[in-house]
A and B are shown apart, each in its own frame.
Chain A
């Protein structure tokens, strides 16, 4: 039986508004907790976010977004690499951050 994990994601303000959520998002992830599985679960729950964090087809992270967790920048990790245990246990949220680019 595939393990289910409750995890936490913090979205940037514009995406919170788009998804009409306040504060953190709690998600259920099946199997390994990776960037890909978290984003799959996020987009399944909030389909309006499809294409706003990663490309529809290539699934590449949009260039002005970063993924932080546990005080580490995970943006350039493999999307299939396990996220830190603190994310998988919901002790810490995965932070999706808009790059500081002004304007």
Chain B
């Protein structure tokens, strides 16, 4: 029988949640790296027992951990993230020039084909790659040196590169997203990058239609349709059907189109999920009701999913990397909250139940479907 392993990063440690294919009874392991901020924990698609974790602290900086046994034991690997050359400046919150400085790793994206190759998205925004299992990290500097860097600026969480999507049909193509610069694509394995923000409109930058400066919160793709991308922007849910060359809004009937997470059903590429958040100044659900919204039409037409979720007095947030899906049938959907709950739906969102209720604030959720 298949199993699922949910990898949860929190403000004070990492947790590994496991269950059988019914996804009803769960075992909780953790906290791993107790007391540290665990921004992201993700397994290799080609070797599920190989897991990488970003561990960081305001006191002690960045550590990268690697497990070869599915998260039971860990070993620290390389933690040196040095920008290529002189990194220059980006915009600070007040528009002044501010030097690029490494702060932390937000996202780790293991290669689709090699367990020793991993991409890291960091703050201040840049993308790094290791090809030796995390011992050494080298910047793919073509992104930061694209030329628009001086116009990038931090969002409230910092100037982070938080999304990395590898195209399963084209090993040379990757997508990344930065708050607040926007989305970028490479078609040559990371040597050169182009902004893919046409169609985005953001009122909080001087030119709402600018090439860069958009606060993209997350991007998702279904592997069977790598040309179709879904985006939760600061405000607006967006869709592109040409690999990001042009976006159009699909917020439709959402009660608010601010939010952080977005994800795609494992077997239905037109079924997508978001968690609407009231506004950029009130980071909690509308009216204290935690609702996932599902669209079965690739956007525009959305239905609220509430069964099993708190429908009163709920004022948590769901952060950008804190939603994931498994590939069982029916598709499981998972998300974590800043209140420390991790909710699971074993039926594609129809019903929900908390796996855990009282973890530290959840920063990230990933799921592995195991044989």
Residues of A within 8 A of B (CB): 12-15, 17-18, 48, 50-53, 56-57, 62, 64-65, 98-99, 101, 103
Q: Closest chain B residue to A51 by CB distance? A: B79
Q: Is the CB of B59 within 8 A of A51?
A: no
Cross-interface CB contact of A52 among B35, B63, B82, cutoff 8 Å: B63
Q: Give me 5 other A-B pairs in contact (C-beta within 8 A), A17-B33, A48-B63, A56-B82 excluded.
A: A12-B59, A50-B79, A51-B61, A65-B60, A103-B58
Cross-interface CB contact of B60 among A52, A57, A101, A103, cutoff 8 Å: A52
Q: Is the CB of A14 within 8 A of B59?
A: yes
With A52-B63, A62-B61, A101-B58 known as contacts, the answer to whether A14 contacts B35 (CB < 8 A) is yes
Q: Name the B residues within 8 Å of A62 (CB-CB).
A: 59-61
Q: What is the CA–CA distance of A8 and B58 in the complex, to the nearest angstrom?
A: 25
Q: Is the CB of A52 within 8 A of B58?
A: no
**B345: CB under 8 A from chain A?**
no
Q: Is the CB of A53 within 8 A of B76?
A: no
Q: Name the A residues within 8 Å of B34 (CB-CB).
A: 17
Q: Please indicate which of the listed interface residues A51, A98, A99 has the most CB atoms of chain B within 10 Å of its own CB.
A: A51
Cross-interface CB contact of A53 among B33, B35, B60, B79, cutoff 8 Å: B60
* Smallest beta-carbon distance A89→chain B, Å: 29
Q: Is the CB of B63 within 8 A of A57?
A: no
Q: Name the A residues within 8 Å of B59 (CB-CB).
A: 12, 14, 62, 64-65, 98-99, 101
Q: Is the CB of B61 within 8 A of A18?
A: no
Q: Is the CB of B76 within 8 A of A51?
A: no
Q: Closest chain A residue to B35 by CB distance? A: A14
Q: Closest chain B residue to A56 by CB distance? A: B80
Q: What is the CA–CA distance of A48 and B135 in the complex, to the nearest angstrom?
A: 11
* Smallest beta-carbon distance B121→chain A, Å: 19
